[in-house]
Every structure is written in structure tokens, then in C-alpha cells.
Amino acid sequence: MKKTGNYDFDAPVDRGGTYSMKWDKYKGRDVIPLWVADMDFLSPPAVIDALNKRVNHGVFGYTLPPQELNDIIIGVMENEYGWKIRKEWIVWLPGLVTGLNVVCRAIGEDGDDVLTAVPVYPPFLTAPGYSRRNIIKTDLAEIDGEWRFDFERLEKAVTKKTRLFLLCNPHNPVGRIYSMDELSTIASICIRHNIVISSDEIHCDLLLEPGKRHIPIASLSLEIADRTITLMAPSKTYNLPGLGCSFAVISNQGLRKNFTAAMNGIVPRVNTLGYAAAIAAYRDSHGWHEALLDYLRENRDLVITSVNRMPGLSSRKIEATYLAWIDTRPSGIKDPVKFFEDAGVGLFDGNEFGTPGFVRLNFGCQRSLLKKALERMAMAVKKHAESKF
């Protein structure tokens, strides 16, 4: 069995009996679930040890944000991104989607517009409506084989009522890590139109492209930080989404006050196990994290090569995340999700990301399972292509 460092990401893990959202969707059916974004790997050993220790204590009362964790976050932001943040800027949240919805309620008034670029993670598209705002969508463009912002189109989409821009960086589902230039241009458009930026950076530690680094948009300048709410979490990287622990970083006191006011009475505290796991993840899991990225890089390469060999299917470069965004439109497959489910693979529907004809594939799983899923897909697509002649 191939090991990456001391960690065996090839070892199968049976997730049956854990009420896994990902696996139970297809319970009793021979469908490999590669849809929702959690990974099939064990969390880092340090996290499992910390949780065992906390569970063995046996009392699970209301828990304050640990000072130790705030200090760890401050250190990570400075060391990884050269971004100096203060403890008072951190607002703990029981989920990042909660943060997206709180942002929409905290900024502007009922009836205002919220702008985002599609395809994008589905809660970006639903949060504005839940908060009595209107969603305005602009399309990302495919330029020179990669997904980019079309800045002219983005600025044209701004209305008089646009108060908030929802950015996803790295971008789920297209896997882009935005450059300093791209982020500066986005920020200058937002400054010109007095728009607050909500920057979802949950995938910031899942960088697969050598030489590329993550830049928090708020770290670009004080002026940009002043209009930005950054949302982060250890959940994607360390595979802890069931523990509900994430945070916002908001340097502008007024914005922070509006944000916490929108949380009042509705948003619960972070649970005690989430905090214990977050400390061990950020502080004690570097080796595991590096090994994970190596494993994911190989999975990514396998997905890109295999998908681009399937007639009528294509996937662009994936710089970050463990998600592949697959264009099925040239294949003529009518309902791609159903088509691949019938072939034994469960994918996420592009419609929900604002872009029909695409599917999203989660490659955060054991390579043998991924290979099996890709073989099933290849066989079905080949049959479909042959049936057209």
C-alpha cells in the first residue's frame, strides 16, 4: 500500500453507520458518492487525539473561544499570508454558510442587490434571497484555458442598489487561486461603487498548484480590509465539516458591529469539540496537511487526464480545492447527474452552481475508489458517444 509520508490516504474507511450525508444519499445503491465536499480520509492523528482527550473529560458545557486558538489563527495569518490581524477582529461561527447568510443580513437593506460570479458554491446564490436581498449574477469567463473574471462584465452588472459582493477565493467550483492583480481589480471595482466584499476563503489551505500562493483580499491594503469580511475555517482542509467551527475576520469596527448584531439570538456558539479540533488542526497537523496535498495533487492529475479523454467532456486546470468542474455540454448528455448516477457515480449538479451542463466531482477520496468511478464514467460516456453514430 502506497503511503504519503507517514499517512496512508489509500487505506479504505467505511463511513457506513455514521449518517454521512455524502454516502447515505446513495445508501443501498451501487453509486460511488463524489458529490458533497467532504473527504473520505481520517482527520489528522493530532485532531483525533485532541478529540479523544476532550471526550474523555466528559463534560460538554458552553465553551468560550479559546484564547490559544485566537493566538494560533493570528500566527497562521501572519506566517502564511503576511496578514497582521488582531484578536478583536475574529468572530467565531458554527459554520461558514452561517457566515454567508449573516453577511447578507448585515450589509445593506431589504431589497438591495448582492453581486457574485457564477459558477459558484450554491449557498452564495441562496443566501441573498433568504435575507430579502436580490442576487445579481455575472459569468466567469473561460480565457486561455482557465476561468477568470471578466472585469468589464462584472462592473456592468453593478446596480445602484448593489451593496455587497460575494467572492470565493480559491473559487469553488472552478478551482482558481486569484492573483494579486485580479484581487486588486475586484477590490478597485468595489471601492469605486462603495460595495462591501465578503471573501469566502475556506479553501485557502488546499493549494495544489506549485508556486501559487493564497492572498487574502483583505491583506492587500487597509482601505480594502476596511470594506472586507473574510470567512475561513479549518473544516475543508482537515476534514472537519461535521464539527461546525469557522470564523470571520473583520477589521472595520462598524462592519463587525453590524455582523454580530445580525447574529444575535440566532447563531449559536461554536461547539466545544469544534474548538478542540481546530486547535490541533492548525497547530499540530502540518505534516499531515503536506502529505494530503501531495495525495490530492495525484488525484487531481488522474481526474484531469481521465476526464479530458472522455469524448465531449472536459475539465480545466484545478489550482486549488479537491473539486473538479466538468463541462459535459459538447457530449450532448441531457441530464448529466442522472446519466452518471445510472453509471454508478454520484456527482453535484452544475445547475445548483448557476451553470447547467456542468457537474462537480469531489476527488477527496481513496485513489482506488476514484479510479473505479472514473472507469465507470469513461465506459458510460464511450457508450453514449458510440450510440450517436
Q: What cell does 143 get?
A: 480565457
Is 202 one of the binding residues for ligand PLP (CB under 6 A)? yes
Q: Measured from the CB of residue 30, what is the shortest distance to ligand PLP in angstroms? A: 25
Q: Measured from the CB of residue 199, what is the shortest distance to ligand PLP in angstroms? A: 10
- Among 273, 227, 199, 247, smallest CA distance to 96 is for 247
Question: Position 178: which residue type?
Answer: Y
Q: Which residues are CB-neighbours of 253 under 8 A, at least 6 positions away?
A: none
When the beta carbons of 98 and 366 are compared against ligand PLP, the nearer one is 98
Contact 381, 312 (CB under 8 A): yes
Q: Measured from the CB of residue 334, what is the shortest distance to ligand PLP in angstroms? A: 27
Contact 365, 374 (CB under 8 A): no
Beta strands, E only, the chain = 32-33, 90-93, 113-118, 134-139, 141-143, 146-148, 162-168, 196-200, 228-232, 246-249, 314-315, 323-327, 345-346, 348-349, 358-362
Is 97 one of the binding residues for ligand PLP (CB under 6 A)? yes
User: Which one among 96, 125, 304, 377 touches ligand PLP, defined by CB under 6 A?
Assistant: 96
Q: Measured from the CB of residue 173, what is the shortest distance to ligand PLP in angstroms? A: 8
Is 319 one of the binding residues for ligand PLP (CB under 6 A)? no
For residue 122, is the peptide bond before it cis, meaning its omega torsion is within 30 degrees of 0?
A: no
When the beta carbons of 320 and 381 are compared against ligand PLP, the nearer one is 320
Stretch that binds ligand PLP, among 58-66, 92-100, 265-273, 282-290 (CB under 6 A): 92-100
**Stretch 36-55: interaction string toward ligand PLP, x if CB under 6 A:** -x------------------
Is 200 one of the binding residues for ligand PLP (CB under 6 A)? yes
Question: Position 216: which residue type?
Answer: P
Give 317's Cβ-side CA count (13 Å radius): 16
Is 172 one of the binding residues for ligand PLP (CB under 6 A)? yes
Stretch that binds ligand PLP, among 94-102, 154-162, 208-216, 298-306 (CB under 6 A): 94-102
Q: Measured from the CB of residue 120, what is the shortest distance to ligand PLP in angstroms? A: 8
When the beta carbons of 112 and 200 are compared against ligand PLP, the nearer one is 200
- Among 123, 118, 116, smallest CA distance to 165 is for 116
When the beta carbons of 94 and 344 are compared against ligand PLP, the nearer one is 94
Stretch that binds ligand PLP, among 16-24, 51-59, 90-98, 268-276 (CB under 6 A): 90-98
DSSP H or E run through 371: helix 367-387
The number of residues that bind ligand PLP (CB under 6 A) is 13
Q: Measured from the CB of residue 80, what is the shortest distance to ligand PLP in angstroms? A: 18
Is 168 one of the binding residues for ligand PLP (CB under 6 A)? yes
Helix-, strand-, coil-residue percentages of the chain, each rounded to 5: 45, 15, 40
Stretch that binds ligand PLP, among 59-67, 89-97, 210-218, 347-355 (CB under 6 A): 89-97
Is 104 one of the binding residues for ligand PLP (CB under 6 A)? no
Q: Measured from the CB of residue 226, what is the shortest distance to ligand PLP in angstroms? A: 23
- The residue whose grid cell reads 488522474 is 302
Give 369's Cβ-side CA count (13 Å radius): 22
When the beta carbons of 344 and 346 are compared against ligand PLP, the nearer one is 346
Say how many C-beta atoms besides its own lie within 10 A of residue 176's C-beta.
26
Q: Which residues are CB-neighbours of 312 under 8 A, at least 6 positions away?
A: 328, 329, 330, 331, 332, 333, 381, 385
**328/310 Cα distance (integer angstroms):** 10
- By CB under 6 A, the residues from 210 to 269 that bind ligand PLP are 233, 235, 241, 246
Is 95 one of the binding residues for ligand PLP (CB under 6 A)? yes
When the beta carbons of 44 and 234 are compared against ligand PLP, the nearer one is 234
**117/157 Cα distance (integer angstroms):** 10
When the beta carbons of 242 and 287 are compared against ligand PLP, the nearer one is 242
- By CB under 6 A, the residues from 109 to 128 that bind ligand PLP are 121
Give me the residues that bind ligand PLP (CB under 6 A), please.
Answer: 37, 95-97, 121, 168, 172, 200, 202, 233, 235, 241, 246
